[in-house]
Structure 1
Amino acid sequence: MKKFFALITALLLFVACTKNPYTHRSQLILISPQQEIQMGLSAKQQILQRAKVSHNPYYNRLVKEVATRIARVADEEFHPGYRWEFYVLESPQVNAFCLPGGKIFVYTGLLKLIDNPDQLAAVIGHEVAHAILRHGSERVSMAMIGEVGKKLLAQGLNINERGWGPLFDLAYGVTAQYGVLYPYSRKFEYEADQLGLYLMYKACYNPYEAVKFWYKMMRQSRKKVPEFLSTHPSDEHRIGALRKYIKELVTIKRDCSRRF
């Protein structure tokens, strides 16, 4: 049985390795792009059934304009094959997300917080970057591999026979969460920040507004979670990384004479 699990794991690792299209980091993804898109469609339907869609004409026009420009750059440079859709949801949450397949949702709470379209472009660029880089599928794949690893380790240590099952589950879960999933989640956020800045810059938005937005988010935060316990980088580290990315970014040529 142990040899069987080891063989299955090795085959999965061999078959599922891919390259991050922007950073070229090796990724382990067990879900196909087609499966991703179907999952995105299913999630979209569930969200639209439960959430209240805003019909505010200004908010909808703003989101459509900014998201269309970001999406055009994404299509031209990364060819994700998405059918883009844009929705504004009535909610005080300061949030936005992009489902696999290009379904973008922005909450009215976020739209009330931003100062200008450039700051909205920073947020939408970041969320579109997560989708293009397939971070959601990578996280799910890591969890799937983690379950296989957990079974192998439990068998090797005779955990169940010794009656250590509950304790092992707790220890393994904490180790996986803080040792693997949280650091990788922070890596995903840094990658999405970097690609998101690139997308907004190439769409002819001002990348310096991303820094201003995150300063505003930092002031909005009511409590500070230590970075090693968080899925997101600390605000100070994030802003420092953004400044570094922008210095490299502004040396890249872009054509802002065309109409988006």
Structure 2
Amino acid sequence: MRWKTYIASAVAVATLTACSTSPTGRSQMLLMSENDLSQMGAQAFSQYQQQLPTVGGAQLNYVQCVTNDIVAVLPPEQRDQNWQVKVFESEEANAFALPGGYVGVNTGLLEIATTQDQLASVIGHEIGHVLAHHANERASTQSATQLGMSVVGTALGANGVAGSDQIMAAMGMGAQYGVLLPFSRSHESEADTIGLQLMADAGFNPQASIELWQNMEQAGGGAPPEWMSTHPSHGSRIAGLEAGMGDAMGRYQRAQAAGRSPSCKA
């Protein structure tokens, strides 16, 4: 059928993109400039500060201390950024890092990440997203997917294909559950791997990452099936962390031998 040819053409258009490689060796599609992403990160950080009150004092000093130790082991181009850290008053157990050098941690997370090593596993994970250019990759993938579907929709309509609305609806579901959500899960797993390495290189005990997710599992309620979620299940995350623990413990031991022994007080 001719509409299948148009779909194949749309897929080809969507894959003619700038290619790169992530820190773990995975092929990536990156369409946006880092300067644009940094500006978007600054804007998002500013908006977040407008939405939630910030907290100073001991909590900010604590989060800043952990962040500084992790930033110290980043590659020079990321390490030399003017990293800004904020603690936000919110019960939601959440944290983030943004392109351009921005880190935010909610007070709710500090109730679950009960040690400096557990907090380092979260901050390392979030900075891992930045190192792996996940914001760029996600935006690029969504743009390419939308472009492909737009081309297909135009082609179906122009050729009077019967049931074109149903075909486009099915493609939309396929893009959501077959491309975008699994893609997000792959980002989370990759950030777990990078974060584990970062915290170990900085001298934080990587075994605390598993303790953190056990805490998360105890604190959390029901969750959607893994295939319908942008994040892996807690069990999947723990299994992935355990798989990388041998390498991480070697990094941790070398960091300790080199004198990296963080002492951040909550």
Q: Structure 1 residues 93, 162: closer, same or farther in 2, change over 3 A? A: same
- 2:109 matched to 1:110? yes
Map of 1:121-160 to 2, 5 A cutoff? Answer: 121-158=120-157
Cα distance in 2, alignment partners of residues 144 and 87 from structure 1: 31
- Structure 1 counterpart of 2:20: 18
Cα RMSD after superposing both structures: 2.6
Give yes or no for contact 2:156–2:164 (8 Å, CA) kept in 1: no
Q: Structure 1 residues 124, 160: closer, same or farther in 2, change over 3 A? A: farther
Tell me the number of residue pairs that the alignment of Structure 1 and Structure 2 aligns: 254
- Structure 2 counterpart of 1:29: 30
Deviation, 1:209, is: 0.6
Deviation, 1:94, is: 0.3
Cα distance in 1, alignment partners of residues 248 and 122 from structure 2: 17
Give yes or no for contact 2:10–2:151 (8 Å, CA) kept in 1: no
Deviation, 1:164, is: 4.9
For structure 1, list consecutive stretches of 5 or more residues without a partner in the other structure.
none
Once the two structures are overlaid, the 10-residue window that deviates more, 249-258 or 42-51, is 249-258
1:61-116, Cα deviation, whole Å (9 max, x unpaired): 1100000111111244x646532000000010100000111100000001122221
Identity %: 34
Give yes or no for contact 2:88–2:104 (8 Å, CA) kept in 1: yes
Equivalent position amino acid for 1:124 in 2? I
- Structure 2 counterpart of 1:211: 210
Give yes or no for contact 2:184–2:231 (8 Å, CA) kept in 1: yes
Cα distance in 1, alignment partners of residues 258 and 89 from structure 2: 33
Give yes or no for contact 2:192–2:241 (8 Å, CA) kept in 1: yes
Cα distance in 2, alignment partners of residues 19 and 80 from structure 1: 20
Cα distance in 2, alignment partners of residues 142 and 80 from structure 1: 27
- Structure 1 counterpart of 2:184: 185
Equivalent position amino acid for 2:21 in 1? K
Give yes or no for contact 1:60–1:87 (8 Å, CA) kept in 2: yes
- 2:227 matched to 1:228? yes
Deviation, 1:258, is: 5.0
Map of 1:51-70 to 2, 5 A cutoff? Answer: 51-55=52-56, 57-70=57-70
Give yes or no for contact 1:9–1:148 (8 Å, CA) kept in 2: no
Equivalent position amino acid for 1:200 in 2? M
SS at match of 1:88: strand
1:95-140, Cα deviation, whole Å (9 max, x unpaired): 0000111100000001122221110000000000001111111111
Deviation, 1:170, is: 3.0
Cα distance in 1, alignment partners of residues 149 and 10 from structure 2: 15
Give yes or no for contact 1:159–1:168 (8 Å, CA) kept in 2: no
TM-score, reference length from structure 1:
0.88
1:121-162, Cα deviation, whole Å (9 max, x unpaired): 000000000011111111111110011110222233337945
Deviation, 1:8, is: 11
1:3-27, Cα deviation, whole Å (9 max, x unpaired): 9xx69965x745511111x112110
Cα distance in 1, alignment partners of residues 247 and 236 from structure 2: 17
SS at match of 1:216: helix
Equivalent position amino acid for 1:36 in 2? L
- Structure 2 counterpart of 1:243: 242
Once the two structures are overlaid, the 10-residue window that deviates more, 112-121 or 149-158, is 149-158
Q: Structure 1 residues 111, 140: closer, same or farther in 2, change over 3 A? A: same
- 2:63 matched to 1:72? no
Q: Structure 1 residues 112, 8: closer, same or farther in 2, change over 3 A? A: closer
For structure 2, list consecutive stretches of 5 or more residues without a partner in the other structure.
none
Cα distance in 2, alignment partners of residues 113 and 159 from structure 1: 55
- Structure 1 counterpart of 2:201: 202
Equivalent position amino acid for 1:128 in 2? I
SS at match of 1:73: coil
Q: Structure 1 residues 150, 142: closer, same or farther in 2, change over 3 A? A: same
